[in-house]
Structure 1
Amino acid sequence: MQYDYLVFIGRFQPVHLGHLKVIEAAMQQAAKLIVICGSARQASSPRNPFTLDQREDMLRAALPTEWQDRVFVVGCSDRMYNDQQWVTEVQNLVDKVIAVDTLSLGKSEAQFRIGTIGSPSRRHTWYLDLFPQWQRVEVADEPGIDASHVRQCLFDDNGAGFAQSAPRLPHAVYSWLQQFRDGATYAQLAEEYRYIQNYRKAWANAPYPPTFVTTDAVVIHSGHILLVRRKNVPGKGLWALPGGFVNGDELVRDAAIRELREETRLKVPAPVLAGSIRANRVFDHPKRSLRGRTITHAFLFELVPTGEGLPKVRGSDDADRAQWVPLFEFNRMEAQLFEDHFYIVNWFLGQI
Structure 2
Amino acid sequence: MADFDAAVFIGRFQPPHRGHMAMLRHALDAASRVVVVLGSAHQSRMPKNPFTWQERRAMIEAALAPADRQRVLYLPMRDFYDEARWVQAVRNGVRLLLDSVRGGGAAASAGPAPQVALVGHFKDDSSAYLAQFPDWQLLNFPRQSDTDATLVREACFAAADDHDPHLQAVLHEHVPPAVRDWLLAWRHSTEFASLRQEWQMLRDYRQSWASAPFTPMFVTVDALVQCQGHVLLIERGRAPGKGLLALPGGFLEPRDTLWQSCLRELMEETAIGLSEAEWKSAFRTVRVFDHPDRSQRGRTITHAFHFDLGHVALPPVQGGDDAQSAAWVPIQQIGTMPERFFEDHFFILDVFLQLTHEVALRELR
Q: What TM-score does the superposition give when structure 1 sets the normalisation length?
A: 0.95
Aligned letter for 1:117? V
The aligned residue for residue 261 of structure 1 is: 267
The aligned residue for residue 323 of structure 1 is: 327
Q: Any idea what the Cα deviations from partners look like across 1:244-296, whole Å, max 9, x if unmatched?
A: 01110010111011101110001111232133221111111111111111111
Equivalent residue of 1:111, what SS? Answer: coil
How many angstroms apart in 2 are the aligned matches of 1:133 and 1:2? 16
The alpha-carbon deviation at position 125 of structure 1 amounts to 2.1
After TM superposition, list the pairs within 5 Å mapping 1:107-256 onto structure 2: 107-108=108-109, 111-121=113-123, 123-158=125-160, 160=164, 161-166=166-171, 167-256=173-262
How many angstroms apart in 2 are the aligned matches of 1:61 and 1:250? 53
1:41 aligns with 2:46: no
- Number of aligned residue pairs: 348
The alpha-carbon deviation at position 70 of structure 1 amounts to 0.7
Aligned letter for 1:327? I
The alpha-carbon deviation at position 138 of structure 1 amounts to 1.0
How many angstroms apart in 2 are the aligned matches of 1:253 and 1:176? 48
How many angstroms apart in 1 are the aligned matches of 2:134 and 2:299? 32
Aligned letter for 2:59? M
The alpha-carbon deviation at position 103 of structure 1 amounts to 1.7
Unaligned stretches of 5+ residues in structure 2: 356-365
How many angstroms apart in 2 are the aligned matches of 1:110 and 1:266? 58
The aligned residue for residue 282 of structure 1 is: 288
Q: Any idea what the Cα deviations from partners look like across 1:38-62, whole Å, max 9, x if unmatched?
A: 1110100000000011001100010
The alpha-carbon deviation at position 216 of structure 1 amounts to 0.4
Q: Which is further off, 243-252 or 197-206? A: 197-206
The aligned residue for residue 100 of structure 2 is: 100
The alpha-carbon deviation at position 29 of structure 1 amounts to 0.9
Task: Say whether the 8 Å CA contact 2:157–2:199 is kept in structure 1.
Answer: yes
How many angstroms apart in 1 are the aligned matches of 2:143 and 2:346? 33
Q: Which is further off, 125-134 or 159-168? A: 159-168
Aligned letter for 1:233? A
How many angstroms apart in 1 are the aligned matches of 2:51 and 2:78? 14
How many angstroms apart in 1 are the aligned matches of 2:112 and 2:219? 46
Aligned letter for 1:322? A
How many angstroms apart in 2 are the aligned matches of 1:274 and 1:151? 46
Unaligned stretches of 5+ residues in structure 1: none
Aligned letter for 1:118? G
Task: Say whether the 8 Å CA contact 1:217–1:260 is kept in structure 2.
Answer: yes
Task: Say whether the 8 Å CA contact 1:240–1:341 is kept in structure 2.
Answer: yes
Q: Which is further off, 150-159 or 340-349? A: 150-159
How many angstroms apart in 2 are the aligned matches of 1:192 and 1:121? 29
Task: Say whether the 8 Å CA contact 2:75–2:94 is kept in structure 1.
Answer: no
Aligned letter for 1:349? L
Task: Say whether the 8 Å CA contact 1:257–1:274 is kept in structure 2.
Answer: no
Q: What TM-score does the superposition give when structure 2 sets the normalisation length?
A: 0.92
The aligned residue for residue 359 of structure 2 is: none
The aligned residue for residue 24 of structure 1 is: 25
Amino-acid identity (%):
39
The aligned residue for residue 363 of structure 2 is: none
The alpha-carbon deviation at position 346 of structure 1 amounts to 1.0
Task: Say whether the 8 Å CA contact 2:23–2:144 is kept in structure 1.
Answer: no
Task: Say whether the 8 Å CA contact 1:215–1:297 is kept in structure 2.
Answer: yes
Question: Which of residues 310, 334, 342 in structure 1 aligns to 2:314?
Answer: 310
The aligned residue for residue 57 of structure 1 is: 58
Taking a change above 3 Å as real, the CA distance of residues 251 and 158 of structure 1, as seen in their structure-2 partners, is farther
Question: Which of residues 277, 295, 299 in structure 2 aligns to 1:293?
Answer: 299
Task: Say whether the 8 Å CA contact 1:158–1:190 is kept in structure 2.
Answer: no
